[in-house]
Copies of this chain bind each other. A is one copy, B any other.
Amino acid sequence: MTQPDGDTLTMEHQHLVLDDGLVLECGVTLAPVQIAYRTYGTLSPTRDNVVLICHALTGDQYVAETHPLTGKPGWWSRLVGPGRPVDTDRYYVVCMNVLGGCMGTTGPSTPRPASGQASPEPWGTDFPPITIADMVHAQARALDAMGIGRLFAVIGGSMGGMLVLQWAASYPERVFAALPIATSPFHSAQNIAFNEVSRQAIFADPDWNGGRYWARGAIPARGLAVARMMAHITYLSEDALTRKFGRRVRQDPVGPAAGPLAPAPLFGEMFEVESYLRHQGSSFVRRFDANSYLTITRAMDYFDLGAEHDGDLAPVFAGTPTRFCVVSFSSDWLFPTSQARFLARALNSAAANVSFVEIDSDKGHDAFLLDEPDLDRTVRGFLSGAAEHAGLI
C-alpha cells in the first residue's frame, strides 16, 4: 500500500474557472469546470500569434518549464522556447491540462460539488464519461475566457493529435494551422485492447477499492504501475528496445528500488529492459491519478472522427479553411503511418491544404517526445510557412 503524495492533490496550479461549466456529450452538465494552464511568450496586440499545444494521455500543461512535481524539464522543452521550432519569441504558447486530468483541471480527483458535505469526496468513477470533443470544447471555453478567439496553430502528438483534429473539425474558423503528430482520426481495435488491459490492471488492484481509494488512504499503485509498464512497451519500437537494452542483464542484481512492484529479482537475473520498465511503472504512480487514467483512456477509445459518416472523414473536413501538416514516424506501431496516411488522404479528398511527412525513426511512438531533428525541422518549417500566409511576418 502506497500513501498518496500530498503534493499531487493539494498543489496549486495556475487556472481559470468556467462557472457555467460545460454540457458534455453524454448529456451531463459539469459545473463549475476548472482549467489549469500555462502560457509562454507574449500575446501580440492583435492576438494573432497564439499556438495551442495539446498534451498526450499522461502529459500536462508544463510543456516548456521545469515540472513542479518531478523536477524534470517540460515534456516538449526541446521543441518549445525562445528560438526553438515553436518559438516563444514569436508565438504566444498556451497549454492546458485536459478535462479529466489530474494537474489542476476538473477530473475524477476533483471534489464533487454540491454534495452538501463540509469536505466533499472526489468524483472518482462517478465522474461522467468524457470525450475528446468534450476536452476540446472545454479548451475553447477557456480560450474565450482568456479573450482568445482564433488560434494561429494547434499542435499535439498522440492523444494531443486527436485534440488537434477535433479542434479543426469542431472549430474550423478558429484554427489557421493544424499539426497532428503520431496520431489517428480513430482509435484502433488494438489500441482499445491495450487500454482495456491497462484498465483491468487498475481494477484488479484491491487498493483501487471500486474507485474510492481515498477512503483507504491509499492509491492503486501496483495496478497503475503495471498499466504504465505495458503502455510503455507500446510507446517504443522493437528496434529501440533492442538497441537500448538487447538481452543485457543488470550488473546490480538487486535492481532499482521497486516502488509498488514486486521485489526484484524473484526469478534469477534481471534483464536491463525489465529494470527500465519497473522504473517507468514505479515513478509514474507518484504523479498520476488512477481514475484520471481510466477516464482519459476511455475518451481515447471513443474517438472516431468519421463515426457519423461510416468512417469517411471527407465530410468532416469539407471546405475546411485550416492548413494541415500530418506527421508520422516510420517505427510507430501504436499510431502507424497507415493511419496518418488515411487521414492525409481524407484531407486531400476534402480539398484541404495538407502536407504529409513520414519521419524515418527507429524510436517508435515516443519519437514525438524525443530528439528527432527531422521533427524539429518539420515543425519550424510548417509554422514559418503558415506564419507567412497568415501575415504574421
Contact = CB atoms under 8 A, between A and B. Distances in A.
Interface of A: 26, 125, 129, 186-190, 192-194, 196-197, 199-201, 203-206, 211, 222-223, 225-226, 229-230, 233, 236, 238, 241-242, 244-247, 260-262, 266-268, 271, 273-274, 277-278, 281, 294-295, 298, 301-302, 304, 333, 336
Q: Which of A188, A230, A245, A271 has the most CB of B within 10 A?
A: A230
Copies of this chain in the oligomer: 2
Contact of A226 (B193, B197, B206, B268): B197
A44 B245 CA distance: 49
A304 B262 contact: no
15 contacts: A188-B247, A189-B247, A189-B271, A190-B242, A193-B273, A193-B274, A194-B230, A197-B230, A199-B267, A201-B204, A203-B262, A204-B226, A204-B261, A206-B206, A226-B226
Given A226-B226, A241-B189, A274-B196, A205 B203 contact: no
A159 B187 CA distance: 32
Nearest to A311: B247
A376 B277 CA distance: 39
Centre residue among A245, A278, A294 by max chain B CB count within 10 A:
A245
The 4 A-B residue pairs with the shortest CB-CB distance, nearest first, are: A203-B262, A204-B222, A189-B241, A196-B274
Dominant secondary structure of chain A at its interface with chain B: helix
A273 B196 contact: yes
A267 B295 contact: yes
Contacts of A125: 266-267
Nearest to A236: B190
A385 to B, nearest CB: 34
**A194, A196, A302 — which one has the most chain B CB atoms within 10 A of its CB?**
A196
Nearest to A186: B247
A290 to B, nearest CB: 12
A247 to B, nearest CB: 6
Given A197-B277, A204-B261, A333-B333, A242 B188 contact: yes
Contacts of A199: 262, 266-267
A32 B180 CA distance: 62
A262 B204 contact: yes
A193 B267 contact: no
Contact of A192 (B196, B200, B266, B273): B273
Contacts of A242: 188-190
Contact of A200 (B189, B196, B226, B244): B226
Nearest to A274: B196
B200 A261 contact: yes
A268 B298 contact: yes
Contacts of A188: 238, 241-242, 247
B266 A203 contact: yes
A315 to B, nearest CB: 18
Contacts of A194: 230, 233
Given A193-B273, A196-B271, A201-B204, 9 more contacts: A187-B247, A192-B271, A196-B277, A197-B230, A204-B205, A204-B260, A204-B261, A267-B294, A268-B298
A281 B200 contact: yes
Nearest to A275: B196
A193 to B, nearest CB: 5
A28 to B, nearest CB: 12
- Residue of A125, A200, A273 with highest tally of chain B CB at under 10 A: A200
Given A187-B247, A196-B273, A203 B241 contact: no
Contacts of A262: 199-200, 203-204
